[in-house]
Amino acid sequence: MKKRIVVTGLGIVSPLGIGINENWERYLAGISGIKEFKTDGMDSMTYAGKVSDEVLETFIPEDKKGKIDRFTSFALVAAKMALDDAKINKKFDREKIGVFIGSAFSGLNIIEKQVKTLYSDGPRRVHPFLMQNNITNASSGEVAIELDLKGPNIGFSCGGCSANHSIIQAFNAIQQHDIDVIVVGGTEAPLLPWVFQEVKHKGLFHEKTLSLNRASCPFDIERKGFILSEGAGIVILETLSSAEKRGADVYGELVGFGASYTNNDYNHHKNPGFYSKVSCIKQALESASADSSNVDYINASGLSGIQEDREESEVIESVFGKDTYKIPVNSIKGSFGFAIGASGAIDTIFSLLSMKKKVLPQTNNLENIDPKCSSICILQKPEYKSVNIILSNNFDYAGNNVSLVFKR
């Protein structure tokens, strides 16, 4: 019999702060975590969403400081918060708790630091923990070690959809195996010169042509590209039977998902990404046994990309047809930027908080809606209402697409 799987805990580390309450309150207040940013190897100042070093430091265990990469630090803090939020204590069977965490870039920070050490001081001075800190499952492994979680442990790397692919695989693992809980999500610390150069080369990155408070403005006519950011989002997936047995609070039930990838088939009159994203959403709705008219709210990917936002608007209109303008849509990237592999999990957390708190957040920094995005109902101020079914889109610039459907 198919298991019902729910979310019982949330944890977040972001440029807006640490913890779900701080992030939620600061977002609704219209605050942005995007600041001016410059690091070694960069010619000029740019914009980025950076997690406060001073605040993060207070959450890291003393014996881990200086020994784990930044992306692992984010995951560790968010995972502990999510487990605490779910009220999963040490009495819970640790062999039935798995860890699935995604990241596009993994341990870039320690690689950069140790490459510099290699050239300045020689190979004997390279940190002995270099390899174990930069592999894909470094964060999931460290979370399991630190929190004594003995279930299956996997690291995923699927670009900007790493977190949501992790969520899909966690859902499948719980269905197929004797596991009650999986700590799942994504983490990313990509604020390094060569990452900025990569997205700049692709023509996707905002190069500080707008004022700071307008740096990331999804669906706005003046948007110039996405803003790189960092952080982690972790959710606790748990069987409904386990949650009910221990009297846990539930944020929502994961009832469907879809995934696709955009190939280079340009035979269609539109960008092939359009058809791929339409397919992704339709898969998600079909697996949730939901009709397009059943969806009450869409948390859009909304990268603030010049082409990406227009295309997502067209995709939503294509799927939802006559119901399109009845469905409130927002994007949270105006305050968070695009945290690559962590982004989908952060979106998921805000989707679930919206459902729990009965508040649909506004799209921060949106002043003038792009006419080519105006076919969808984009929220410019919070809407206070109860919703039953939420669609959360996670589309990245490299062709990966994931849509998740949550039900109250």
Answer whether 37's CB lies under 8 Å from 49's CB.
no
Which pLDDT does position 178 carry in this prediction?
93
Query: How does pLDDT run across 114-157, given as a tens digit for each residue?
Result: 667 666 877 777 676 656 667 789 999 999 999 999 999 999 99
Cα–Cα distance for residue pair 49/52, rounded to 1 Å: 10
Phi/psi of residue 312, each to 5°?
-65, -40
The amino acid sitting at 92 is: F
Structure tokens at 126: 């390279």
What percentage of the chain carries pLDDT values higher than 70?
Answer: 90
Q: What is the rounded distance in angstroms from the CA atom of residue 110 to the CA atom of residue 107? A: 6
What pLDDT digit, counting tens, does each position of 43-102 carry?
A: 667 899 999 999 999 998 888 887 888 999 999 999 999 999 999 998 899 999 999 999
Determine the residue type at 49.
G
Domains of the chain, with CATH numbers?
7-245 (3.40.47.10), 255-407 (3.40.47.10)
Specify the higher pLDDT residue, 305 or 362: 362
Pairwise pLDDT comparison (317 vs 40), residue with the higher score: 317
Tokens for 359? Answer: 């508040």
Containing 236, the helix (H) or strand (E) segment is strand 231-239
Whether pLDDT at 211 is above 90: no
User: What average pLDDT is seen over the chain?
Assistant: 91
Planar angle of CA 284, 289, 295, nearest 5 degrees = 70
CA dihedral 57, 62, 63, 68 (to 10 degrees): 0
Q: Which pair of tokens denotes residue 180?
A: 């009650």
Mark out the alpha helices in 61-105 (DSSP H runs): 70-86
Nearest-angstrom CA–CA distance, 79 and 395:
24
User: The whole model's pTM is what?
Assistant: 0.93
- Residue given tokens 């603030």 in the structure block: 304
